A and B are shown apart, each in its own frame.
Chain A
Amino acid sequence: MRHLLSTHDLDRDNAISILDIAEDMASFGHRDVKKLPALRGKAVVNLFYEDSTRTRTSFEAAEKRLSADVINFSAKGSSVSKGESLKDTAQTLDAMGIDAVVIRHGSSGAPHLLAHSGWIDVPVINAGDGTHEHPTQALLDAFTMRKKIYGEDSRGKDLSGVRVCIVGDILHSRVARSNIWLLSTLGASVDIVAPITLLPHSIGAWPVRVWHSLDDALASGCDVVMMLRIQAERMTHAYFPNAREYGRFWGLTAQRYRRLNSETIIMHPGPMNRGLEISSEAADSPQSLILEQVSNGVFVRMSVLYSLLTGAKGQLA
């Protein structure tokens, strides 16, 4: 594995290896000295063309805990706002001598272009591209589910037999896409719950079951309910009449939360729109793993960085 661009090209062994190494990273998370020397002397650039607080902070924490040197590059207030192309930015960074790029970009496929264009010759990690993929989010979601289900015995396990219901704006969601591929690879079954206006045309080709009623889907018994954020910045058309109606039909309201089985896991990639797609009662409940997702994000990103940045060039474990 040279880059992490999508979960679609991650096979089961690679995925489980990343999750297992993340377990080991988590075992260092509680002690006084959290730093590990594994990436000492390596420079990692966080190249963020889109606003992001949690993903960038999480990557930065992961890089620092592995002792890498962190270079943050955000498009705002940089040469990009002066019109510099991705190619020139990449080549400039390369000329400075960097060892990996973490990229978030508003255009789907930008990380792929960066990895395969020949402009730079370092591992590329996709931290979210347009409406395409967000692989580290899916990995941390899978890690969080596995840890909740298997606890200390998580190592080596996949998610066979687990039923995950993903609810909301599938059309624009890179989190949903990455999760669908990864969860399927790990043996889970994926149900999609969304209004028809927020589904992509290609949904028939995906390994999922589709529901158009949240109440029906929840009544059928989901082990995990993953609520997606309504992304105001992408709501450029009339996908649904108004926010209140969306919340009533597609939100995890307090009433729906109370009808859930007490074992059902509630997840959300954040940031949440409380009162829209998820009620505070559900988000702050003991069944919610939303904060665990954030903690685990650091461990999973450490694992990805370790897996891509160590090892002799050209030798794959």
Chain B
Amino acid sequence: MSATLLQSDDVTRALTRIAHEILEGNKGSSNLVLLGIPTRGVHLARRIAGILERIDGDTQIPVGSLDVTMYRDDLMSNPMRESALTQVPVDIDGKTVVLVDDVLYSGRTVRAALDALTDVGRPAIVRLAVLVDRGHRELPIRADYVGKNVPSARGERVNVRLSEIDGDDVVSVTSGGDA
């Protein structure tokens, strides 16, 4: 069974609100760098940067991707994972880096991202933006900007579809066998 949580318009509204909150928290768009966590986080980061640029006029927000595969703590307990590209377009030292991902769950991906970030540079501030926070954290990590909080059971699956990859924007939850 699958229930839709966010339609295309809801996704756009959520990202627009996140963009405004980023501007408010950062007091403008200066010094901002958006780094998406592949694959869907990168597309979300690009969209948020696009919205920021529309709101704030002529500033260009640097957007990159930060692959965390090599930093994961479950490399030896899951099947081999394909990695993805890391591309950081600017020097992040002293900047405000906003990490962007689609779903925040255990927090382990973000833990790996913080380690990966340390090897890239030393930002002044690191923030976290996610489209969906589904709870069940296993580490002391929280998001600064959340598109939608989705209370979920562990057995459920939260699926994020984005038009860049999947053809349409939908966030849905599927109940697992034991849920």
Contact = CB atoms under 8 A, between A and B. Distances in A.
A31 B120 contact: yes
Given A33-B119, A38-B70, A21 B78 contact: no
B82 A310 contact: no
The residue in A20, A27, A307 that gathers the most chain B C-beta atoms within 10 A of its C-beta is: A27
Category for how many chain B residues contact A: 20 to 34
Given A36-B71, A310-B75, A311-B75, A316 B80 contact: yes
A24 B84 contact: yes
B67 A35 contact: no
B115 interface: yes
Nearest to A302: B70
Contact of B79 (A20, A23, A315): A315
Given A37-B70, A37-B115, A38-B70, A21 B75 contact: no
Interface residues of A, number: 24
Nearest to A22: B83
A33 B69 CA distance: 16
B81 interface: yes
B82 A317 contact: yes
A17 B115 CA distance: 25
Interface in B63-92: 67, 69-71, 75-87
B81 A317 contact: yes
A317 B115 CA distance: 25
Contacts of B115: 37
A312 B78 CA distance: 5
A206 interface: no
B77 A312 contact: yes
A315 B85 contact: no
Nearest to A36: B70
A28 interface: yes
Interface of A: 17, 20-21, 23-25, 27-28, 31, 33, 35-38, 66, 155, 306-307, 310-312, 315-317
Q: Which 8 A-B pairs have the closest CB atoms?
A: A311-B80, A317-B80, A36-B70, A33-B119, A24-B83, A317-B79, A38-B70, A310-B75
